[in-house]
A and B are shown apart, each in its own frame.
Chain A
Amino acid sequence: MEDASQDTIGVLVVDDHEVVRRGLLAFLDGEPDIDVLGQASSGREALELLASMDNEGRRPDVIVMDLQMAPLDGIESTRQVRALYEDIEVVALTSFGEQERVHAALEAGASGYLLKDSDADDVAAAVRAAHRGELQLDPGIARRLMSSLRQRPGDDPTSELTSRELDVLRLVAAGKPNKQIATELAISERTARTHVSRILRKLRLSSRTQAALWAVREGLVEVEPGSHQT
């Protein structure tokens, strides 16, 4: 397990539709770099499972999380997962026509989202991207998230960031994964990861996405306005 967790991405699948869980399990298990560590049919079950997995020392790296579930829907589950285990990334799994929920999930700290009519290969790609710490953002959704960030009250938290953390934040905002941040700053990937966690805590944010948007808003980096491309 120790070795495996270095090479492969440990995934937890959370969805209340058994038919979807079976499909995801079959497909993700077929991917050589992905290892499905468990499955849950609700947010509550997922959190219980995570607690026991954490005790056994085999945390997943990425959770593929359906948003419409009970008890405890995917949005609230994402919030709790991100609060309890900041190194676990969440990919939200949503259906067509649930844009509102996507925004809520990203706000809750999901690092990406997948539509339930995506190609199978997109599912694997999203898991890998989340693991690398990459951002996946539709510009329309980015705009929405920016305006929701703006509503958050706060006293200038920029001053709390060290200059190294500001460097890391700029790279996060540029969409760079941890590995690349590590290379550019000549630090280990683990250190880069730690920096990101610390930045999130200081800024009281729950995801890289939000950190990136925050950096854009504070004028640390520029993003190009985009469009809804379908």
Chain B
Amino acid sequence: MRWPSLRFAAGVVLLGAAYYGAAKLGQTLRYTASVSAIWPPAGLGIAALYLWGVRWWPGVLLGELAVNGELLLDNSMIPVGSLLGQQAGNMAEIIVGALLLRQLIGPNAGMDRVEHVGGMLVALGTATAISATVGTISMVAGDVVDESDAAVFWRTWWLGDTSGGLVVLPLLLAWAQDPMRAWRRIRTWEGAAVIGGVTALGVVAVSTEEPITYMVFPALIWAAFRFGPAGATLSIAITAGVAIGVTAHDVGPFSQQTIDHRTLSTQLYIGVAAITTLFLTVVVSERERSSRALAEAHRTEGERAVEERRRIARDLHDSVSQALFSTVLHTRTAQKALVQEGATPSGRVARSLAAIADLTKRVQSEMRGLIFELRSEPVHDGLVAALAEHATALRASDGPTIDVRGPGPRLALSQRVESQLFAIAREALANVLKHAAATTAQVRVDAVDGQVVVEVRDDGRGFNPSAGHPGHYGLESMHSRASEIGGQLTIASAPGRGTVVRVQVPAEDGTG
């Protein structure tokens, strides 16, 4: 036998075994004839054929043959013809269900969208109706079931297959997506707590004779909210398993009822719990998805804004800055020509030209600052380079000289820390320019003993740092930036003695 057919045979046997196992599980809650209150194999078969493809139908057939063969040996009451009819109905149920499911919700649906759950309900309901109808006709024809009981028989069959499908089908579909990821999500303390909660409340809900089956819902809602489709479907399966197990032992609220009512109550309990939880979890999934989309939109919006700022900076640089440089040259040309022509420096034209030259310088300086602001990410060449560039941008003929010194190689700091240090130094320099009336300012960056120190020092008029300057000098913002990066900020100053702003942060390990 060639390898692919060997694999196929193995898959068929495996599917058949799983189908048989699911049927055995369903038969533990069997009240009348061959009809179980819960029939999980239908959902299993539909899931297998949906996920792997309809060509795996022989696996389902194998499982069916095993189940019915056993039934035939155990119970000679059921004629072979009825069993064959029932089997044909079950096969049609599973194949139609898988095809319909693929048609309605497409391949690889993870039960995390409203249309997945809706489509699954339609496909499952339709498929199980086929099986229930064909099965009922077969049984009535074989005189296993009396014609007067046909309606109840059909209902029990249909609800059994549907509620079993509602437990098994979403469970398999949700877990088939990414089993490892689903498992990692569940395998936490909270995951253990929610599983424990579902089990405990599930037991409580069906163990007393009081009608308190709603007890299980808080735990199911918890699972739906926190653990996505995989956690929710697992919780539904646990709830169903507990309900079947407990009711089969003749305890709980359903056991007091007639066998028909007991079946119906169990089916409705499981069906309602499953549908409610499934819809809740898809709504939560949809919400998570839209909040992710919103965050993504914010991010691209931010990137677009940065790109736009860069474009404006480029345009300013390409047009206005060039024209200003030319203005400087032309003005100087005119000034020199005027001198050559023997005009006095205090003449009206000379004074106007001097004013134009002065004005142009000032606009150039403003333009530099503006372009620098627009080109965000100021530290992408390193803190020292950014500070040197910023100092150049602040240069003004009437302002202090600003001297920046620091190590040439990149500091062992993340970009975030460098940005904050840059912002602190920029704030300090802005204070120097605005308030200090200094003649020189020095910016020092030092990396010693695993610490990075940034110091901004000026020889200006100083101030009393303990006096408090609410809302002024950006001192609060400097302090909060420093604490945000785990740094220490100190400000040393006294009236007439200049100011030293010093911030110290630990260098980061492993970055050199």
Q: Pick the contact of B329 from A27, A97, A144, A229 — CB < 8 Å? A: A27
* A227 and B403 in contact, given A116-B321, A117-B321 (Cβ under 8 angstroms): yes
Contact B403 A96 (CB under 8 A): no
A: number of interface residues (CB 8 Å): 26
Q: Pick the contact of B337 from A17, A30, A95, A117 — CB < 8 Å? A: A30
Interface stretch of the complex, out of A105-113, A118-126, A177-185: A118-126
Shortest C-beta distance, A88 to chain B (Å), equals 22
Residues of A within 8 A of B391 (CB): 228, 230
Contact B392 A120 (CB under 8 A): no
Q: How far is the CA of A230 from the CA of B399 in the complex (A)?
A: 11
**A53 interface residue (CB < 8 Å to B):** no
Q: How far is the CA of A17 from the CA of B323 in the complex (A)?
A: 9
Q: How far is the CA of A95 from the CA of B337 in the complex (A)?
A: 27
* A97 and B330 in contact, given A30-B337, A227-B403 (Cβ under 8 angstroms): no
Contact B405 A227 (CB under 8 A): yes
**A19 interface residue (CB < 8 Å to B):** yes
Q: Pick the contact of A23 from B329, B375, B408 — CB < 8 Å? A: B329
Residues of A within 8 A of B321 (CB): 95-96, 116-117
Q: Pick the contact of A24 from B329, B331, B393 — CB < 8 Å? A: B329
Residues of B within 8 A of A19 (CB): 322-323, 326
Q: How far is the CA of A17 from the CA of B320 in the complex (A)?
A: 11
Contact A140 B388 (CB under 8 A): yes
B325-370 interface with A by 8 A CB criterion: 325-333, 336-337, 364-365, 368
Closest to B391 in A: A230
Closest to A144 in B: B408
Residues of B within 8 A of A17 (CB): 318, 322, 326
Q: Pick the contact of B333 from A97, A116, A120, A228 — CB < 8 Å? A: A120
Q: Pick the contact of B371 from A97, A99, A144, A230 — CB < 8 Å? A: A97
A12-37 interface with B by 8 A CB criterion: 17, 19-20, 22-24, 26-27, 30
**A198 interface residue (CB < 8 Å to B):** no
* A30 and B333 in contact, given A228-B405, A229-B403 (Cβ under 8 angstroms): yes
Residues of B within 8 A of A117 (CB): 321, 324-325, 328, 364-365, 368
Contact B401 A23 (CB under 8 A): no
Q: Pick the contact of A27 from B322, B330, B403, B405 — CB < 8 Å? A: B330
Residues of A within 8 A of B333 (CB): 23, 26-27, 30, 120
Shortest C-beta distance, B331 to chain A (Å), equals 7
Residues of A within 8 A of B332 (CB): 27, 119-121
Shortest C-beta distance, B337 to chain A (Å), equals 6
Contact A96 B368 (CB under 8 A): yes
**A143 interface residue (CB < 8 Å to B):** yes
Q: How far is the CA of A229 from the CA of B403 in the complex (A)?
A: 5
Residues of B within 8 A of A23 (CB): 325-330, 333
Q: Which of A26, A116, A117, A119 has the most CB of B within 10 A?
A: A117
Q: How far is the CA of A121 from the CA of B323 in the complex (A)?
A: 17
* A230 and B402 in contact, given A26-B333, A120-B333 (Cβ under 8 angstroms): yes
Residues of A within 8 A of B403 (CB): 227-230
Residues of B within 8 A of A27 (CB): 329-330, 332-333
Q: Pick the contact of A96 from B327, B329, B330, B392 — CB < 8 Å? A: B392
Closest to A140 in B: B388
B369-412 interface with A by 8 A CB criterion: 371-372, 375, 385, 388-389, 391-393, 395, 401-405, 408
Residues of B within 8 A of A140 (CB): 388
Q: How far is the CA of A79 from the CA of B386 in the complex (A)?
A: 29
Closest to A96 in B: B368
Shortest C-beta distance, A139 to chain B (Å), equals 10
Residues of B within 8 A of A95 (CB): 317, 321
Residues of B within 8 A of A20 (CB): 322, 325-326
B174-210 interface with A by 8 A CB criterion: none
Q: How far is the CA of A119 from the CA of B332 in the complex (A)?
A: 9
Q: Pick the contact of B401 from A97, A121, A230 — CB < 8 Å? A: A230
- Which residues in A have some Cβ–Cβ distance to B below 8 Å? 17, 19-20, 22-24, 26-27, 30, 95-97, 99, 116-117, 119-121, 123, 140, 143-144, 227-230
- Which residues in B have some Cβ–Cβ distance to A below 8 Å? 317-318, 321-333, 336-337, 364-365, 368, 371-372, 375, 385, 388-389, 391-393, 395, 401-405, 408
A-B pairs with beta carbons under 8 Å apart, 15 shown: A19-B322, A23-B327, A23-B330, A23-B333, A24-B326, A26-B329, A97-B371, A116-B322, A117-B324, A117-B328, A120-B333, A123-B329, A144-B408, A230-B392, A230-B403
